[in-house]
Amino acid sequence: MSAPTSPDDAAVGPPEHLHPLFLLTGLGGSLRGIAGGYVAIGYLAVSGRWGTAFFGMLALVAFMTIGIFLYWRRFEYRVGANEIRIDSGILNRTHRSIPFDRIQDVDITQGPVARVLGLAKVKFETGASGGKEEGVLQAISLKRAEDLRRLARARRSGADAAVVPESEVSEAPPIYQMTPQRLLLAGTFNFSLALLAGLFGLMQTAGDVIGFNPFSRSFWLSILSAGDPVRDYILAHRFATAAAGLIVLVLLGVATGIVRTALTDFGFRVDRTGVGLRRRRGLFTRTDVTLPVSRAQAAVIASGPVKDWLRWREFRVQSLAKDEGSKQGSHLLAPLARDEEVNRLVEEFGWKPIPGAVTWTRVSAEYVFSLALALVPLILIAIGNLFFNPFIGAPFLAGLLGVLGVRWLAWRRTGYAVDDDRVLVRTGWWRRRITVLPARKIQSLDLRENFISRLLGIAWLEFGVAGGGMTGHSIPAIPRREARKLRDVLLELGT
Amino acid sequence: MATDIETIAEGLVNPPAVATDPDLLPVEPGYKNVLRFRLLAVWLVVWAAGATVDQLAFQDLPVAGFLTFGVPVLALTAILTAPERIYRRLRYKLTDRLLQVVRGWLFHVDTVVPFVRVQHIDVTRGPLEKMFGVATLVVHTAGTHNSIVTLPGLAPARAAEIRDIIREHVRTDFA
């Protein structure tokens, strides 16, 4: 920032515009946003009114261009001594002031086009709920974006924290990093059963039409040359077609998982910066997010049966600021990590590492029984169907018993432990997670019962925790007296 | 099974917390009237809709008349019995550092909010509440889950008193 010329200037700073290239990138963005317009034009074109369609298209583009230009013209931001001011709006002007004290985090996102042009989208995260367009600069130069971030950080941490040049930070070894091999492995784990089912359905219904149905014999016969041993095998054995189809599907599923993971998590690395942890990731769209450690509310170490068996974990942190572009809203800090790496990240937050052997207090077996009770009507229906319509009744019953079986497996793992000044909660069998919840971060505690659980003498303990993303944390099915005791202990620890 | 006979027996005979903790205070009896009028409003809408459907479409069916004449009976039963029960189960406790709100039986919730976790506090009074001289205390925490804890049916002076007690403890512990 240049030297201020007057005291007034120092308070608010000189006005700045978005980068002129925003006129280009912004147009692309808004052209993507008007699907309805294309449908209308497409309809006009199909119905033969080419002139009208052409005119409509022209009007749309002109309208957009003028809109973008006005937005750019009327959008100003100023970087002052204590705040950032954003003046925006074409007709309704909004003058927003974001004090540096309240900026928890400056996110920098670069889409593929923006990366080519050297632009970046900057978002000032203030942790306020709602209002997603709270402090967004759609396109400024990457250099300016990094300046802004450095400035916000320096202002926040006070004058004593020396401003560390970005380049120097990058030279320190990262706290956590994804190697290409690990990215590949993470992609394999990202294999989605839902996608598989979807593909299977698609091939069954439309596969013959589009000429790609690995479950039909003719498909294999047509792509394999005569005399090929695989072809002979398929001709000889009926089940071979199904097996081959399944293999193709699984390969497709794995490939999709790898591509998806590579797109988001390519070059994943976490570094320590002055106030927090900085995460960079993405292949085409690169994001650069800093999570201030003091904002962390809870952490989750997640895994699955296979992942867990291979000793891999995923590490997420729930923070006051929401992580944009992640479905859960919590900050993913390690997609695939060993216990030591997880503990290293945990320690960065000033928390103790997760003990290797935790003595879990198991929850009541009524956890399984209460679900069984709730399922009784459905089970009766299934058994009834077994007599009248075995082909529907049998899978239905098997599904219900499967649900109960998974609950039983989950029950064997579900437990909690009070570990000094925090509570650890372990849940799930398929979606295994260990939640680390510092007692000081618990906002409210609910003990929940209903008329069934009361008969069984169990209660659910639910935690109110600040910050977005993860759905409520809770410990299921604790015997009532224990639940009250645990609540008192946590209240004692937390206040 | 992890539960012993005693726990089950306790679950059967005791309504939880309310009976075991003598410090849990009831709210103002006037709150029952608020509940009665609210129920009345809901049931009036249900009855109006039901009666309309009944008169227009159900006249040829064997259930004809139920929605027009049966619903008011149900409504009356609900209005006469439910508020009394809801009132009886709603209790609160104020210690030197936390607020506890206990409510419900079918779906029982026992909430505890430490004062230091409170972000801000409202005392609200709707027209019905004004009519029967009660107020609702609304406590906001920073949590995203259960972030709003309400305690209805307090005397306005008591609500203001609790608000002032909590206000002294309000502070932000994250910067």
Point out the residue among A443, A449, A457 whose CB comes nearest to the CB of B117.
Answer: A443
pLDDT cut 90: percent of chain A above it: 20
- Best probe of the A interface among B8, B100, B145, by most A CBs < 10 A, is B145
Predicted confidence (pLDDT) per residue in A233-289, tens digit: 777 776 777 787 788 888 888 888 888 888 888 889 998 877 788 898 888 888 888
Pairwise CB contact (< 8 Å): B97 & A295: no
Point out the residue among B98, B114, B174 whose CB comes nearest to the CB of A294.
Answer: B174
Across the range B5-24, mean pLDDT stands at: 53
A24 touches B: beta carbon within 8 Å: no
pLDDT band for position A414 (50/70/90)?
very high
Whether the predicted pLDDT of A167 surpasses 50: no
Classify strands A331-337 and A119-125 as parallel, antiparallel or unpaired. Answer: unpaired
pLDDT band for position B20 (50/70/90)?
low
Q: How far apart are CA A415 and CA A451, in angstroms?
A: 23
Chain A with chain B: Cβ pairs closer than 8 A: 121
| pLDDT recorded at residue B75 | 92
Extended beta strands in A47-192, E state: 76-79, 83-88, 94-99, 105-110, 119-125, 136-141, 176-177
Cα nearest neighbour of B139 on chain A:
A444
Interface of B with A (CB under 8 A): 1-3, 7-8, 10-12, 16-17, 97-98, 105-114, 116-117, 141-147, 149, 173-175
Is the CB of residue B56 less than 8 Å from the CB of residue B103? no
pLDDT cut 70: percent of chain A above it: 87
| pLDDT recorded at residue B129 | 92
A486 to chain B, closest Cα gap in Å = 13
pLDDT band for position A452 (50/70/90)?
confident
Lowest mean pLDDT among A44-48, A339-343, A345-349, B157-161: A44-48
Whether the predicted pLDDT of B31 surpasses 90: yes
Cα nearest neighbour of B145 on chain A:
A464
CB burial of residue A180 (10 Å; 0-12, 13-18, 19+)? exposed
Pairwise CB contact (< 8 Å): A480 & B1: no
Question: Which of the pair, A60 or A11, is modelled with greater confidence?
Answer: A60
ipTM above threshold 0.85? no
pTM score, whole prediction: 0.76
Predicted confidence (pLDDT) per residue in A146-161, tens digit: 888 888 877 766 544 4
Is the CB of residue B58 less than 8 Å from the CB of residue B64? yes
| pLDDT recorded at residue B38 | 93
Q: Which of A164, A140, A143, A102 is nearest to A20 (CA)?
A: A140
Average pLDDT across chain A, whole number: 82
Is the CB of residue A265 less than 8 Å from the CB of residue A288? no
Whether the predicted pLDDT of B43 surpasses 90: yes
| pLDDT recorded at residue A10 | 56
Pairwise CB contact (< 8 Å): A454 & B112: no
If you compute the radius of gyration of chain B from its CA atoms, what whole number of angstroms results?
21
Predicted confidence (pLDDT) per residue in B85-139, tens digit: 999 999 999 988 889 999 988 889 999 999 888 888 889 999 999 999 999 999 9
Pairwise CB contact (< 8 Å): B111 & A445: yes
Is the CB of residue B123 less than 8 Å from the CB of residue B137? yes
Predicted confidence (pLDDT) per residue in A355-391, tens digit: 888 889 999 999 999 999 989 999 998 888 888 888 8
Q: How far apart are CA A9 and CA A81, in angstroms?
A: 9
Whether the predicted pLDDT of A209 surpasses 70: no
| pLDDT recorded at residue A199 | 75
Whether the predicted pLDDT of B174 surpasses 70: no
